[in-house]
Amino acid sequence: MKVFFLLMCFWLLLNAKESLYLNFPQDYPSQQTGTSFGKELIRLINSTQHDIHFAIYGFRAQDEILQALINAKQRGVHIQGVVDSDSHGKNYYEDTHKLYQLFDVKSDHKSAIMHHKFFIFDQQIVWTGSANISDTGTGGYNANNVVVIEDKNVAKAYEHEFQQMFTNHHFSTKKTHALSCLAISTNTSRITLGFSPQSLTYEHCIAPLIKNAKTSIYIPIFYLTHYELTQQLITAHQRGVDIKIILDASAAKNKYSTHQHLRKAGIEVKVENFGGKMHAKSMIIDDRYIISGSMNFTKAGEEKNDENTIIIENATLAKAYKEYFFALWKQIPRRYLFIDPNPESFESGNSCFDGIDNNLNFRT
């Protein structure tokens, strides 16, 4: 089974202009960029000819990605970025200051989180998903997903979001001219984009898919505190939709988590026992739709933070993500359908030795 894990860590499914990258959680955080989506990010940086725009939560311990950006700058690529900081200018990830020093980078200086994880290359390719640029994200410790889309219209929408933050310094509720659930058709997929908070992404983009789901909803997810989503999942379950959820162990300790409510309603929720996190913010619906992006399924994710959500209608990609979901599902012991493993304990992989504050109690 360990061999299976190693193979799946580098799963890449190509479908014309859309690519899906999925990562199983690895044994420890890594300063090496060993994930498929991390390697693809480096390849895209190395291939860029004119400009790179990025909006990321922060940066930590990924020197290969940093060096690729430095090399791009040295060959004349124009690099601009946006990162998160609190109202005092403090960054969550401790190496974020290197980006300020090397590139043209701005931050939000707000309590609401600039939570994006996207890159735009030469105004035509977008790299986005749930992975942070860190030893736990692109380094591979957490379970994450990334999509890469080569489409000028998709890139234009992300560029619009980027320029509101970088050029206009409009973040969170200050952003204007929102692109609300923008639908774009490519040769192989129909792609819907939402940018929080203006787009009301859950209400306008996601809820209709759940209400109309006919057969299945599978959810690998970090946080689940969204009340309306919880109620709609219960309603879908009651009309016969098969629903399964994999929830992060640290998020299960959040007092607002709704997973126990879902369990009482008869929905199967497994809380993961990895060392790293279940960090995806995603759904697979009716073997047809993939929902991905940076937005956690919380009210803050929908109404306060700067977030992006991408919905891809593509049966081939949805099938691949479904297979990944069930491979993860089988790895989590059945007992965690009923009890929650402690995220900082011997129940959870290497969490006692990884140097990460898995249960968010400010102690590693």
Q: Report the side by side order of strands in the sheet with 144-150.
A: 11-15, 18-23, 144-150, 125-129, 117-121, 51-56, 78-83, 104-107
- In degrees and rounded to multiples of 5, residue 78 shows phi and psi of -85, 120
d(CA 248, CA 258): 12
3-state secondary structure of 23: strand
3-state secondary structure of 144: strand
Asked if residue 192 lies in contact with residue 183, where contact means CB atoms within 8 angstroms, the answer is yes
* 170: annotated active-site residue: no
Count of beta carbons in the 10 Å neighbourhood of residue 164: 22
Place of tokens 């499914």: 13
The token pair that represents 5 in the structure block: 């894990």
Helix-helix angle 63-74:36-47, to 10 degrees: 10
Could you say which of 51, 122, 286, 357 is catalytic? 286
* 281: annotated active-site residue: yes
Could you say which of 53, 110, 115, 279 is catalytic? 279
Asked if residue 106 lies in contact with residue 82, where contact means CB atoms within 8 angstroms, the answer is yes
* 160: annotated active-site residue: no
Q: Report the side by side order of strands in the sheet with 190-196.
A: 182-185, 190-196, 307-313, 289-293, 283-285, 216-221, 242-247, 268-271
d(CA 122, CA 293): 21
Could you say which of 281, 304, 306, 354 is catalytic? 281
Asked if residue 41 lies in contact with residue 114, where contact means CB atoms within 8 angstroms, the answer is no
The token pair that represents 210 in the structure block: 């759940």
Please give the positions annotated as active site: 279, 281, 286
